[in-house]
Amino acid sequence: METLTPTSTCSHTRVGLTTSKPTEFIDLTARIEALVADSGVDVGFVNIQTLHTTTAIVVNEGEPLLLGDFTALLEQAAPRDRRYRHDDLIARTVNITAEERVNGHAHCRALLLPSSACLNISAGTLMLGTWQRVFLVELDGPRVRHVSILIAGEGRR
Work out whether 20 is an interface residue with a copy of itself (CB under 8 A). no
Measure the CA–CA gap between 88 and 117, rounded to whole angstroms: 32
Name 86's Cβ contacts closer than 8 Å, sequence gap at least 6.
Answer: 92, 103, 104, 107
Work out whether 17 is an interface residue with a copy of itself (CB under 8 A). no
Applying CB under 8 A, among 26, 44, 136, 141 the residue interacting with a copy of itself is 44
Stretch of 15-23, 26-34, 55-63 contacting a copy of itself, by CB under 8 A: 55-63
Work out whether 112 is an interface residue with a copy of itself (CB under 8 A). yes
For every residue of 27-58, DSSP letters joined together read: E-HHHHHHHHHHHTEEEEEEEEEES-SSEEEE
Measure the CA–CA gap between 29 and 126, rounded to whole angstroms: 9
User: Which residues are at the interface with a copy of itself (CB under 8 A)?
Assistant: 8, 10-12, 14, 43-45, 47, 49-53, 58-66, 68-70, 73, 77-78, 84-86, 88, 91-95, 104, 107-108, 110-122, 127-129, 131-132, 146, 148-150, 152-154
